[in-house]
Structure 1
Amino acid sequence: MAEEVATLAGGCFWCVEAVFDDVLGVDAVESGYIGGSVPDPTYKQVCGGDTGHAEAIRLHFDPDIISYGDLLDIFFHVHDPSQLNRQGNDVGTQYRSAIFPHSPEQEAEAQAAIARAQALIPRPVVTTIEPLAPWYPAEDYHQEYFAREGMANPYCMAVVAPKLQKFRKSYAARLKRQPA
């Protein structure tokens, strides 16, 4: 089967990118912006909350190794889909929980994944399914941010590292490389 693409927003893209970089079957992860009204937005503009964009990741994956549904289950496991327009202390529509399907099949699977997540979470899941929109890659310094800067950045140590640890513990069989 041919490689597929998934686009997901679950708060700070550094967090979500770090998790999916470790997933077996994910060939590439790119941080970027989607869902807004300003062409070619900058990080500063998106952080200002006025562009309508979400910080998001775009994944290229092999569906023979991992299904879109399994990717969505991981997505729901590593962020809080019950927080409207925020993740923890990151507040604003740019940190919303959203899925941007690339096909009607992905949209149907997104609806099913939201239902699965809702069955596990006592609070309402507020994740939206939004139409696919223009994708704008984030600036180069955001790409692979946790891999490059994570251990030196207090935000990453406090926020990204625990999410990555939670993922690695719960999805050990899905890791590209086993932890040392």
Structure 2
Amino acid sequence: MEDQALSGKGIYPGTFDPVTNGHMDIIRRSLRVVDKLVVAVAANPGKGPMFSLEERVSLVLAELQTLPPDQAARVEVKSFDTLLMHFAVEQGAGVIMRGLRAVSDFEYEFQMAGMNARLNTQVETVFLMASEKVQFISSRFVKEIGRLGGDISQFVSPQVKKILDVRFEEERNGLRPLD
């Protein structure tokens, strides 16, 4: 079979629990590489997400409103609970976009890209290095810092911070279990 050019459609998968400034950096930069982007919010119950799948999709959709209209029009948000390669085929995507923050990310992502290539040789994985200002941000650290009363305003948008503050307050008052 002849090699074909990469699809104009890419997928940026993740748990997005919550969506951070780092995620938004990769979304913006992915739009320089692909014509259309599907932000694929993984169900991923094994990670014990703080937010439900529906809440995470809503958070990402709200964050996309901060993009210029011409960019936002090129992004879709969909949830999935299947193998990423099956989802990519279903969406007609030829590219998986992944952000890398550190060497530890690379080791995991390298293994994942290898497994995905074995499952489907027609879908390529493209790695984007996180921008300098956001390379240390992870959803896990954002939740840990926020839960302990630290300032998370430089890691997430004001609207995500507001939602997190409410969730942390609910946890402190015993209205929600810790994740």
**TM-score computed with the length of structure 1 as normaliser:** 0.36
TM-score (normalised: structure 2): 0.36
Q: For the pair shown, which has the larger CA radius of gyration, 1 or 2?
A: 2
